[in-house]
Amino acid sequence: MDDDQDADDAEFELPDGRKVRITGRALEFFDDHDGCPFCIGRAAAHRGEPEDSNPYPAVDMSVGSVDRYETDYGLWLAGYGIGSTEPGGLLWFEQPNRD
């Protein structure tokens, strides 16, 4: 990772004292689930859409390549893969707050 990307990263401390880092790319979509390729793919799986409905252009990288998941296409697929194993229904950010 280059220095410019490291500068955009943010560290957070969890309640148990562990520190975690969120990359600048993830922070771009931190509160914007409508524009997040991962979230869009996850929601598509919850709706029962087929895997080939990925709206992003395919990338020319091998399936196991880590770089593939730095693309919108790969992030959508990752979200779809996780969403397809979940029971479905509303995503956590779509559910009403519960007291």
pTM listed for this prediction: 0.58
92 assigned to some structural domain: no
DSSP H helices in the chain: 3-8, 24-28, 37-47, 72-83
Mean pLDDT of the chain: 76
Tell me phi and psi for residue 37, to 5 degrees.
Answer: -60, -40
Residue 94 lies in a domain: no
81 vs 31, which has greater pLDDT? 81
The tens digit of pLDDT for each residue in 6-15 reads 567 777 776 7
Instruction: Tell me whether residue 79 is in a domain.
Output: yes
Residue 4 resides in a domain: no
* Domain assignment present for 89: no
From the list 22, 25, 28, 26, the residue with the least C-alpha distance to 10 is 22
Domain count, the chain: 1
Instruction: State percent of the chain over pLDDT 70.
Output: 69
Express each pLDDT in 69-98 by its tens digit: 889 999 999 999 988 887 766 555 555 554
- Residue 95 tokens read as 């559910």
d(CA 66, CA 53): 22
Instruction: Give the range of the structural domain holding residue 79, as residue numbers without chain letter.
Output: 10-84
Name the one residue in this structure whose structure tokens are 């397809």: 84
Residue 48: what pLDDT?
Answer: 87
